[in-house]
Amino acid sequence: MNNYVLEARSISKSYILGSACIEVLSKLHVRFEEGLFFTIQGASGSGKTTLLQLLGGLEKPDKGYILYRGENILQLSAKGLAKWRAETIGFVFQSYHLLPELSALENIELPALIIGKGNQKKAMELLEAVGLEKRANHRPNELSGGEQQRVAIARALRNDPPVILADEPTGNLDGETGKQIINLLLSIQKEKNKTLILVTHEREIASLGDKQLLLSHGKITEIESKFSTEI
Whether pTM > 0.75 for this model: the answer is: yes
Tell me if residue 25 falls in helix, strand or coil: strand
pLDDT at 149 over 60: yes
**Confidence grade of residue 227 (pLDDT, cut at 50, 70, 90):** low
pLDDT in tens, 19-52: 888 899 999 999 999 999 999 999 888 899 999 9
**Confidence grade of residue 224 (pLDDT, cut at 50, 70, 90):** confident
Please state which of the ranges 4-13, 31-40, 160-169, 172-181 shows the lowest mean pLDDT.
172-181
Q: What gap in Å lies between CA 74 and CA 70, rounded to an integer?
A: 12
CATH number, domain with residue 221: 3.40.50.300
Number of domains forming the structure of the chain:
1
Count of other CB atoms within 10 angstroms of residue 189: 19
Q: What pLDDT score was predicted for residue 229? A: 44
Please name every residue paired with 6 in a beta bridge, in sequence order, or none if there are none. 32, 68
pLDDT at 119 over 90: no
**Confidence grade of residue 2 (pLDDT, cut at 50, 70, 90):** low
Domain assignment present for 120: yes
**Which residues span the domain enclosing 182?**
36-61+78-225
Domain assignment present for 5: no
pLDDT in tens, 84-96: 999 999 999 888 8
Q: What gap in Å lies between CA 221 and CA 59, rounded to an integer?
A: 22
Count of other CB atoms within 10 angstroms of residue 175: 10
Domain assignment present for 148: yes
Domain assignment present for 161: yes
Domain assignment present for 192: yes
Domain assignment present for 73: no
**Confidence grade of residue 175 (pLDDT, cut at 50, 70, 90):** confident
Q: What pLDDT score was predicted for residue 173? A: 86
pLDDT at 64 over 80: yes
Domain assignment present for 231: no
Over residues 181-200, mean pLDDT: 94
Q: How confident is the prediction for the chain on average, in pLDDT?
A: 91
Q: What gap in Å lies between CA 194 and CA 184, rounded to an integer?
A: 13
Domain assignment present for 66: no
